[in-house]
Structure 1
Amino acid sequence: MPNSLNPLELIARRWQPSAALVRRAALATVVMAVIIVVTGGAVRLSQSGLGCSTWPKCTPDSLTPTAAMGINGLIEFSNRMLTYVLCVVVGVFIIAARARHPRRRSLTRLGWTQFWLVMSNAVVGGITVLTGLNPYIVSSHFLAATALLTVAVLSWRRACEGDDAPRDVVARPVRQLAWLLVGATAALTVIGTVVTGAGPHAGDARKVHRIPLDWQEITQLHVDFVYIVVGLSVALWFTLRAVKAPAAPRRLVLELFACLGLQGVIGYVQYFMGLPEIVIGFHMLGSSLVWIWVLRLCLSLRDRGPLEDSGVPAPADGHEAPEPQPASALSR
Structure 2
Amino acid sequence: MPNSMNPLQIVADRWQPSARFVRRAAFACVVMAVVIVVTGGAVRLTQSGLGCPTWPTCTDDSLTPTPEMGINGVIEFTNRMLTYVLCAVVGVAIVAARARAPRRRSLTRLGWTQFWLVASNGIIGGITVLTGLNPYIVGSHFLAATALLTVAVVMWRRACEGDEEPRDLVARPVRQLGWVLVLSTALLIVVGTVVTGSGRHAGDAKKDVHRIPLDVREITQLHVDLVCVVLGLTVALWFVLRAVQAPAGPARRVVEMLAVLLLQGLIGFVQYFNDSPELLVGAHMLGSCLVWIAVLRVFLSLRDRGELAALPSPAGEAEALRPAAQAASSR
By the TM > 0.5 criterion, same fold?
A: yes
Q: Do structure 1's residue 92 and structure 2's residue 97 form an aligned pair?
A: no
* Counterpart position of 1:228: 229
* Counterpart position of 1:143: 143
* 1:240-319 to 2 correspondences below 5 Å: 240-311=241-312, 313=320, 316=323
Give ranges in structure 2 of 5+ residues lacking alignment.
326-331
CA contact (8 A) 2:58 2:77 kept: yes
CA contact (8 A) 1:12 1:314 kept: no
Structure 2 counterpart of 1:116, one-letter code = W
Structure 2 counterpart of 1:223, one-letter code = V
Deviations along 1:226-258, one digit per CA (max 9) or x if unpaired, are: 000000000000000000011111111111111
TM-fit CA distance, 1:82: 0.3
TM-fit CA distance, 1:3: 8.1
TM-fit CA distance, 1:298: 0.3
CA contact (8 A) 1:107 1:159 kept: yes
Distance 1:82 1:261 in 2: 30
* Counterpart position of 1:34: 34
TM-fit CA distance, 1:310: 5.0
TM-fit CA distance, 1:5: 2.5
Distance 2:143 2:322 in 1: 42
Deviations along 1:113-140, one digit per CA (max 9) or x if unpaired, are: 0000000000000000000000000000
TM-score by length of 2: 0.94
Q: Do structure 1's residue 172 and structure 2's residue 179 form an aligned pair?
A: no
Distance 2:174 2:157 in 1: 20
Deviations along 1:117-167, one digit per CA (max 9) or x if unpaired, are: 000000000000000000000000000000000000000000000000000
* Counterpart position of 1:134: 134
TM-fit CA distance, 1:28: 0.3
Structure 1 counterpart of 2:57, one-letter code = K
Q: How many residues align?
A: 318
* Counterpart position of 2:19: 19
* Counterpart position of 1:324: none
Give ranges in structure 1 of 5+ residues lacking alignment.
319-332
CA contact (8 A) 2:114 2:148 kept: yes
Indicate how the Cα distance of structure 1 residues 305 and 256 shifts in structure 2: closer, same or farther if over 3 A, else same: same
Distance 2:275 2:80 in 1: 29
Distance 2:191 2:105 in 1: 35
Distance 1:314 1:190 in 2: 48
Deviations along 1:178-215, one digit per CA (max 9) or x if unpaired, are: 01000000000100111111111000002101111111
Aligned-partner SS, 1:316: helix
Distance 2:30 2:223 in 1: 25
> Which shows bigger deviation, 303-312 or 60-69?
303-312
Distance 1:315 1:294 in 2: 43
* Counterpart position of 2:83: 83
CA contact (8 A) 1:13 1:315 kept: no
Tell me how large the CA RMSD over aligned residues is. 1.5
Indicate how the Cα distance of structure 1 residues 215 and 3 shifts in structure 2: closer, same or farther if over 3 A, else same: closer
Structure 1 counterpart of 2:183, one-letter code = G
Distance 1:309 1:133 in 2: 49
Distance 2:157 2:204 in 1: 38
Deviations along 1:57-80, one digit per CA (max 9) or x if unpaired, are: 000000000110011000000000
Distance 2:322 2:136 in 1: 51
**Identity over aligned residues, as a percent?**
73
* Counterpart position of 1:121: 121
Distance 1:305 1:62 in 2: 53
* Counterpart position of 1:102: 102
TM-fit CA distance, 1:216: 1.1
Distance 1:256 1:213 in 2: 30
* Counterpart position of 1:7: 7
Structure 2 counterpart of 1:142, one-letter code = F
* Counterpart position of 1:155: 155
* Counterpart position of 2:68: 68
Indicate how the Cα distance of structure 1 residues 231 and 2 shifts in structure 2: closer, same or farther if over 3 A, else same: closer
Distance 1:49 1:180 in 2: 35
TM-fit CA distance, 1:316: 3.3
Distance 1:47 1:310 in 2: 49
